[in-house]
Amino acid sequence: MDNVVKVARIGKSANSTDPNDFIFHSLYNTFKIVKEATKVVTLLASTANQSFTEAHNINSYVPLVSAFAKKTGEAWVFLPNGLDVDTFGAKAGLLGDITFNYVASDPNNIIFNFNNDSASTAEVSIRYFLLEKV
């Protein structure tokens, strides 16, 4: 018989067999955020495919990475494969100047890639989370 440590959600039984009923259950790996940080980058005007790197300093494995971006002075957060939405509408669709093309990781670095369609430079703040190994 397994020795188990488990913490049930409010209103749920600790004897439940549904993993969704638990805040924590020692038989299941709790997915871990290894590191969380922010990085501010300045995008060149009217330039696509701008990459920025940040050393992750994890020497033993390539971490999965998840990231969120926000243009300075604006409220919306946007994800990789998306853009900062300045305006939107049924006919116009989504309109924005900055596209967060992707976030990637390799054995040494995290790579953030953007397009800036604006005629002005733009400052973008990125919050990123390094997760467990690939």
Is residue 93 involved in binding another protein (CB under 8 A)? Answer: no
Q: Give the whole-angstrom CA distance, residue 23 versus residue 3.
A: 17
Compute how many residues bind another protein; rule: CB under 8 A: 31
Eight-class DSSP state of 27: T
Is residue 69 involved in binding another protein (CB under 8 A)? Answer: no
Amino acid letter, residue 40? V
**What mask of x and - would describe binding to another protein in positions 5 to 44, judged by CB under 8 A?**
--x-xx--------xx-xxxx--xxxx-------------
Least distance between another protein and beta carbon 88 (Å):
17
Q: How far apart are the first and last CA of the chain?
A: 32
Eight-class DSSP state of 3: -
Is residue 111 involved in binding another protein (CB under 8 A)? Answer: yes
